Chains A and B, each alone.
Chain A
Amino acid sequence: MIARDPRDDRWRAAQLALDRFESGRTEVPESAEEASMTGLLELLSDLPPAGWQSVPARPERRGRGLPRVGRRSLRLLAAGAVAACFGVGVLVGSSIGTGPGIQRLRGHEVVLRPVLSGAGGAALAVMPAPGRLILRVEHLRPSQPGTYYELWLMTDLRRLAPVASFRVGRSGEVQLSLELPDAAGAYRYLDISLQRLGAGTAHSSDSVLRGPIA
């Protein structure tokens, strides 16, 4: 494995290049190594969204809610998002019967229901802006050791794209703020599958929740 000596040239070059990048300064790099790091930073900042698909989004920390909205309820969050983006915040107050905290919005949302009737869980995905998705899951079976859940954009089992991996704690709840790939509109469903570590990265065919994208 690579040594983590902060004094070595590459580490120092990375630090200098990052400082320069963050401050917006455009001085000539002091070394070839720093120039390479600067190029790397430029590539990273221009990387197409799909290039980040292999990197998991940050996990939601329980008890903190969405970082940018604090502890607001999903209802307020969704209404605010819609109002901000479209000038209207039409909230249909009735529960969809999938959990007390999940409310239904008119438009720009996807309700995910159990694929097998009788199975637990429900989820609501709100798209407050193009390419952005907030997923709220409730009553889902807590992740067992060696398993995780995966959110997919799906048309069928041959045409799908992974969006994010996540685990569910004992509360059965999770809330994620995610970026969608550019071609998200080309898919018909949002799907959550139960995946097993070490069983490959393809869809496991074990879908637990699914909802049609309007």
Chain B
Amino acid sequence: MAPPPPDLNAEARTPARGSARRDSRATEALIARRPEAIALVMEAHGQVLLGFLEGLLRDRARAEDVLQQVLLELWERGPTYDPDRAGLLTWALTIARSRALDELRRRVPEPLDPATMSERLGAEDHQADRLLEQWRLAGMLERLPRDEATLLRMRFYEGLSQSEISAQTAIPSGTVKTRMVNGLRHLRDLLEREEAGA
């Protein structure tokens, strides 16, 4: 879980670097195959991976089972992982997507109607891609400066309008909007960097 919440009235806007540090430590440990690697991956991205898998499989127990497979695969492939090609979260989510789709397809009742099979599999792929993007985004929220992340949460999670946020935080409405725009811009930058790797 995240460090304590910021004082929204403070001018200081310290970026959340802890998440990036955890990611970096996990990456190094995986490549070097150090015993603590999987624990570090879980600390850095466990919540996001499990959230993604649970969203796709709609079953907590199965999601946990598949997460075990994903962690094992990360461990086995760790020494060949190239962080310059994709960030750790992107790589882990890609593996999770594959293992989750394998699991979903194992659960499809047989026999399948060949006429609808490809349509159905295509819909699963699309849903998996959408969820993957959502959870990759969730993983990046932790890396945003706290004041920007908190305002985005208030707007998009709590459903408050910008003027309501302004009233509740005593931050001028223009500043609320500016910080939200900054947050969106940062998110795009973070997503791009994560996708492209280090």
Is chain B found bound to chain A in the same assembly?
Answer: yes
In the assembled complex, A28 has its CB within 8 A of some CB on chain B? no
Count of residues in A whose CB is under 8 Å from the partner chain: 51
Is A59's CB under 8 angstroms from B5's CB? yes
Could you tell me the dominant secondary structure of chain A's interface residues? mixed
Is A179's CB under 8 angstroms from B141's CB? no
Residues in B neighbouring A166, C-beta threshold 8 A: 4-5
Which of B2, B162, B188 touches A10 (beta carbons < 8 Å)?
A: B188
Residues in A neighbouring B177, C-beta threshold 8 A: 18
In the assembled complex, A207 has its CB within 8 A of some CB on chain B? no
| A57 CB → nearest B CB, Å | 7
The stretch among B88-96, B97-105, B120-128, B164-172 that forms the contact with chain A is B164-172
Is B134's CB under 8 angstroms from A200's CB? no
In the assembled complex, B60 has its CB within 8 A of some CB on chain A? yes
Is A14's CB under 8 angstroms from B184's CB? yes
In the assembled complex, B69 has its CB within 8 A of some CB on chain A? no
Is A55's CB under 8 angstroms from B185's CB? no
Which of B2, B6, B180 touches A54 (beta carbons < 8 Å)?
A: B2
Is A18's CB under 8 angstroms from B142's CB? no
Is B134's CB under 8 angstroms from A54's CB? no
| A197 CB → nearest B CB, Å | 6
For chain B, the bracket of interface size reads 35 or more
Is A14's CB under 8 angstroms from B185's CB? yes
The CA of A143 and the CA of B157, in the complex, are separated in Å by 27
The stretch among A36-44, A73-81, A110-118 that forms the contact with chain B is A36-44
The CA of A201 and the CA of B43, in the complex, are separated in Å by 7
Is A47's CB under 8 angstroms from B137's CB? yes
Is A47's CB under 8 angstroms from B150's CB? no
Is A143's CB under 8 angstroms from B43's CB? no
Question: Which residue on A lies nearest to B3, using beta carbons?
Answer: A197
| B120 CB → nearest A CB, Å | 22
Interface residues of B in 152-180 (CB under 8 A from A): 152-154, 156-158, 161-162, 164, 167-170, 177-178, 180
Is A52's CB under 8 angstroms from B4's CB? no
In the assembled complex, B70 has its CB within 8 A of some CB on chain A? no
Is A43's CB under 8 angstroms from B154's CB? no
| B197 CB → nearest A CB, Å | 18
Q: Give 1 or 0 for each of B1-32: 1 = CB within 8 Å of chain A CB.
A: 11111111100000100010000000000000
Q: Give 1 or 0 for each of B127-145: 1 = CB within 8 Å of chain A CB.
A: 0000001110110011010
Which 6 A-B pairs rank lowest in CB-CB distance, beginning with the nearest? A162-B1, A51-B138, A148-B4, A56-B5, A54-B142, A14-B184
